Structure 1
Amino acid sequence: MPIVRSKAIDRSTISKPSSMPLFMKEIPPTIELANDSDRTSINPVQIIPTSLSRTALYEKFKSKIIHNPSLSRNLVSFQANKQAPFSAWFKYKEGFSERLVTYLLQTLKPQPGILLDPFSGVGASLFAASGLGWETIGIELLQVGIFATKARLIAQKIDINLFNKVIAEIKQINFAEYYHPSHALQHIPITRGAFSVVEEELLVGYISYCHKFVMNDDIRNLLLYAAFCILEDISYTRKDGQYLRWDSRSGRSLGKIPFEKREILTFPDAIHQKLNQIVSDLDASSIQLDLFADSLPSQFTVNPKLYQGSCLEILPTLQENSIDFVLTSPPYANRYDYTRTYALELVFLGCREEEIKHLRQTMLSCTVENRDKRPQLEQYYKSLGRLQDFIKVDYIFQQHEALQEVITILETYKKQGKLNNAKVAKMVHNYFYEMCFVTYEFARILKPGGIVAMVNDNVRYAGEEIPVDLILSDIAESFGLTTRYIWTLGRGKGNSSQQMGDHGRSELRKCVYIWEK
């Protein structure tokens, strides 16, 4: 059976995507003086940003760029998880939906095997694949994702009757009476003042009560997870891409336009709503398991194997030709800093300022603060006895013409002051350098016939489009993978509000890449 039926794919978009890439449009030349300090120089050096390499890359892959009408923004983002049991408990905006996982596996490789997600987040791919009979492996750096994944594993085996009994007792308690300073949140500068004094006292009282009076480890951890899930709801903050947006009632310094959340819940209201939601999902899940116990795959009860750490360090330790399917969504090259976005949750889990700074440097480079990891990667591969692999990946990066074209242009824009942050060029360099190693390891650990499905977005800086999909697909082919499809959504991603005035609303491709070995 074909992987994608012709009826499901609009092949009219293969050679004519919804919008021509910006780098294929005419770019006016820019002028840079030979001696920057001599503004009267009569011998300027003319630098003309070129798009030749990216255009050639587009021509190479344009037949693989296919609009897939089965994919939507809701499906390819966390939106479709909002009403789903378990996954709706915690709003993890950086994840994709479990429905997407089911679609990709049933469409591309319906026979279960071993699935890996090297950026597993809160475990959407792991749990959805497990439900289809797959053995799953997840790698996640941030404690936020690890805690959420482990809480869901606990929820699937919890004693529901005992859990209901504990919740009934909790609803009668004034948690302010159980406050203990040993459980007080150790705030970092970017979270200080996130809660009103009253609500934080109740939150800490709840945490103190759970640790002192709830003896069952699983029930205590699930109760703590409920509090973890409502931190944003009871705070003056809202997650907003690169940072936390602060409500005008917080008393912190405000931006030009005051922001006010629709509603800030009290701790009792928020925790009771969350516990009710958890109980409702557990009850429904219990009934469903009873009804369909005989038809569930035998592997359904096998827990995911979970690694905490950077996939740059863990992927090289996995066995060659051992994985059937890699399904993931890495951080995008969009400057989003998850250690700031999820700062409240990290503080709740006991992370201090220095640890969070370390996490920021350890994660895949996607912010302007990330430092070059080349020396560490070289030393690490050398310690594994794989220096030749490091040399090979480093060479592919250095020799990739379209990638070097992008980096050169961004460096030029940096000198001309066109970038809104001078470190953007270095961030893009680091992002692709590290993704080269990630992609190489995919090719190494996949079994023959194995598949990679990756959700990622193209990005734009100073109006310059960076075709992440084309560059990564070309790099994947350098390592022996084949690009089967670059599936696009019907509607791409428009410019940010900051770039809208200068560059209009030209859309960028939002894609799911399908590579195979």
Structure 2
Amino acid sequence: MRASDLPPLPEGFEYRLNLKHHVTPRLLRNQPIHRWFWFPHSFSPQLIDEILCAFPVAAGGRIFDPFLGAGTTVLRALELGYAATGSDLSPLSLFVSQVKLANYDGVMLRECLETILNHYHPSYGNSKVPERIRKAFTPSELAHLNGLRQQIDTAPQPALDFFRLALLRVQQGISRACPDGGWFRWVPREDQSQLIKHLFAQQANMQIADAKSVRFPPFQILLSDVRQLENLQGICDLVITSPPYPNRHDYSRIFHIELLSLGISEREVTELRRTSIRSHVEAEAPPLNADGYVIPSRLAKILDLPANADQRVVPLIKGYFEDLYLTLRSISRYLKPGGICAFVVGNVRHAGVMVPVDEILADVGQQAGYRFITAWVARLRGNSAQQMGRFGRELSRETVVFLQKVKTTTSRLKQRLPLSSHLALEKNNLSTSGDQTNAL
């Protein structure tokens, strides 16, 4: 698309379409360690490099990702020599990230792999396998997976979890439960049991090749709800994260098989679904007080959806931005004054109405004690097939929104200002007060 054909942007936004692959997992697939496991909406480590060029952090500084995902931010921060912290509500995220960040003995890993491959045999008749997993794999495939799992369970840590992750990746490749947007669909497949040993060896050897020369300094990752963070160590200089988009995608469903494979019960998966951030219709409001939050006028206009819209969408959208407010307020306790939050967000469309998540996030940030710095529009993408079929195609932005923590008195003043007035105020402040960041 030519520059002259690009849609106009709100004040303070700029096109950075050279980053279009940086806000997707595309570049992760060939990146050592990062490639072991990723999520559909993961961003790439190259985006972190771009953010650090624009907002440098001093040597020894701390970078935090409150929506840890597959650990991209924490892993890249450690690779660059920074301290790093992450949190997530999903046990799958914690498991994947811990495996990626552990220090390994390459010789020991190869010995363990040889033992696993030489001693495993198909194991039939496991009555404890959840019904959903039985549907995802043939009996013969399950026998081979169970046999490998039994041998993996005899390995010492951290090798045990290292090979459990490799087996998860193999399962993803042969499962009949395939992610499809915000859900998954059952797909027919021929039995692939005879390939499982080869696929597992291939995945494990790739991971060993990546891990053998890596040594990471200490880090902290927590199983925690970012809306009420506790026990986070230290003060952070920079937050780089991507909350779930309010597009009704439910990761507890998309990764249901993986969660069950880690020993998470159906009841615990349902609880995760219920307590996750309100980006999908089954999430519920947390028992938290959102004092100081008022629905931004920009959001209030969006909530007037057509009468034929799904009645669950309005509570979803309202709850989503209240949760972002709670998130930003919670993060603020661990972010130094003047510290930057970089949020990767995607605009979404419901009932034909575009929800400008990036602009509303800037409004919400002001209420939570931040000032809007800028926003990079990294990608223009289509809408869901359902939305385009019913309402036509309308490009939606995928954006990195930058917010800076400010003093309480300043944030209270800005709560009463629209974004355009806020930008004018910041320009005036910067022209009269010198280095705003150092002054905070």
In the other structure, the counterpart of 1:225 is: 165
* Matching residue's letter, 1:206: L
**Equivalent residue runs for 1:261-280 within 5 Å:** 266-280=195-209
SS in 2 for 1:495: coil
* 8 A contact 2:346–2:399 mirrored in 1: yes
CA contact 2:28–2:44 (8 Å) conserved in 1: yes
Structure 1 contact 91–229 (Cα < 8 Å) conserved: no
> C-alpha displacement at 1:439, in angstroms?
2.0
Match of 2:423 in 1: none
Instruction: Indicate how the Cα distance of structure 1 residues 91 and 179 shifts in structure 2: closer, same or farther if over 3 A, else same.
Output: farther
Per-residue CA distance 1:273-313 (angstroms, 9 max, x = gap): 11121122234xx2xx6xxxxxxxxxx73222111021112
Query: Partner of 1:54 in structure 2?
Result: none
Quote how far apart the aligned CAs of 1:192 are.
4.1
The answer for the alignment partner of 1:38 in structure 2 is none
The structure 2 residue matched to 1:495, chosen from 357, 378, 383, is: 383
Q: How many residues align?
A: 403
Partner residue in 2 for 1:406: 302
2:236 to 305, 308, 323: 323
Q: Would you say the 8 A contact 2:292–2:367 is kept in 1?
A: no
CA contact (8 A) 1:65 1:487 kept: yes
Greater CA radius of gyration, 1 or 2? 1
Q: Is the Cα–Cα contact under 8 Å of residues 116 and 152 in structure 2 kept in the other structure?
A: no
Contact map agreement 1:458 1:467 (CA 8 A) in 2: yes
Query: Amino acid of the residue matched to residue 330 of structure 2?
Result: E
Is 1:111 matched up with 2:58?
A: yes
Letter in 2 for 1:239: P
Q: Which residue of 2 aligns with 1:209?
A: 151
- One-letter amino acid matched to 1:350: G
Aligned equivalent of 1:126: 74
Instruction: Tell me the residue number matched to 2:12.
Output: 64
Partner of 2:363: 474
Counterpart contact for 2:348–2:396, Cα < 8 Å: yes
Q: Measure, in 1, the Cα distance between the counterparts of 2:165 and 2:385.
A: 35
What is the Cα deviation at residue 450 of structure 1? Answer: 0.8
- Any idea what the Cα deviations from partners look like across 1:244-275, whole Å, max 9, x if unmatched? 2211348xxxxxxxxxx9x8983212212111
The match for 1:256 is none
Work out whether residues 458 and 509 of structure 1, in 8 Å CA contact, stay in contact via their aligned partners in 2.
yes
Residues 440 and 174 (structure 1), Cα distance of their counterparts in 2 relative to 1, 3 Å cut: closer
Secondary structure of 2:237's counterpart equals strand
Match of 1:483, SS? Answer: strand
Distance 1:323 1:473, change over 3 A: same
Could you say if the C-alpha distance between residues 133 and 265 of structure 1 is closer, same or farther in structure 2, counting changes exceeding 3 Å? farther
| C-alpha distance after superposition, 1:180-222 (max 9, x if no partner) | 738x53344xx441001101111111111222x43x2222221
Which whole-Å deviations, capped at 9, do the CAs of 1:328-375 have from their partners, x for residues lacking one? 0000000000001001110001111111110001110111112233xx
Alignment of 1:410-429 (within 5 A): 410=305, 413=306, 416-417=307-308, 419=309, 421-429=310-318
The equivalent of 2:431 in structure 1 is none
Shift of 1:511: 0.4
Question: Which moved further from structure 2: 107-116 or 142-151?
Answer: 107-116
What is the aligned partner in structure 1 of residue 436 from structure 2? none
User: Given that residues 163 and 219 in structure 1 are in contact (C-alpha distance below 8 angstroms), is that contact kept between their aligned partners in structure 2?
Assistant: yes
3-state secondary structure, aligned to 2:73: helix
CA 1:187–1:94: 2 relative to 1, 3 Å: farther
CA spacing shift, 1:17–1:403, aligned 2, 3 Å: farther
Q: Which residue in 1 is equivalent to 2:185? A: 245
Match of 1:314 among 200, 209, 229: 229
Check 1:207–1:475 CA distance in 2 against 1; reply closer, same or farther (3 A cut).
Answer: same
Using the size of structure 1 for normalisation, the TM-score is 0.73
Would the aligned equivalents of 2:119 and 2:151 in 1 still touch at CA under 8 Å? Answer: no
Aligned to 2:218: 303
Distance 1:80 1:265 in 2: 31
Could you tell me which residue of structure 2 aligns to residue 377 of structure 1?
288
Aligned-partner SS, 2:354: strand
Letter in 2 for 1:498: Q
Output the CA distance in 2 between the equivalents of 1:70 and 1:160: 37
1:293 is matched with which residue?
Answer: none
Q: Which moved more, 1:134-143 or 1:443-452?
A: 443-452
Question: Kindly tell me: are residues 208 and 173 of structure 1, through their superposed partners in 2, closer, same or farther at Cα, counting changes over 3 Å?
Answer: same
C-alpha distance in structure 1 between counterparts of 2:194 and 2:35, whole Å? 18
Q: Within 1, Cα distance between the matches of 2:389 and 2:93?
A: 37
Identical positions, percent: 27
State how far apart, in whole Å, the 1-side matches of 2:101 and 2:194 are. Answer: 28
Q: Secondary structure at the match of 2:158?
A: helix
| Post-superposition offset of 1:172 | 2.9
Matched to 2:82, the amino acid is: W
1:324, distance to aligned residue in structure 2 (A) = 0.9
1:296 maps to which residue? none
Q: Distance in 2 between matches of 1:492 and 1:469?
A: 13
2:41 is equivalent to residue 18 of structure 1 = no
Q: CA 1:266–1:505 in 2, change beyond 3 Å: closer, same or farther?
A: same
Q: How far did 1:458 drift?
A: 0.6
Q: Is the 8 A contact 1:158 1:218 kept in 2?
A: yes
Structure 2 residue 57 is the aligned partner of structure 1 residue 161: no
State the match for 1:508 in structure 2. 396
Letter in 2 for 1:171: L
Separation of aligned partners in 1, 2:194 and 2:362? 45
Question: Secondary structure at the residue paired with 1:137?
Answer: strand
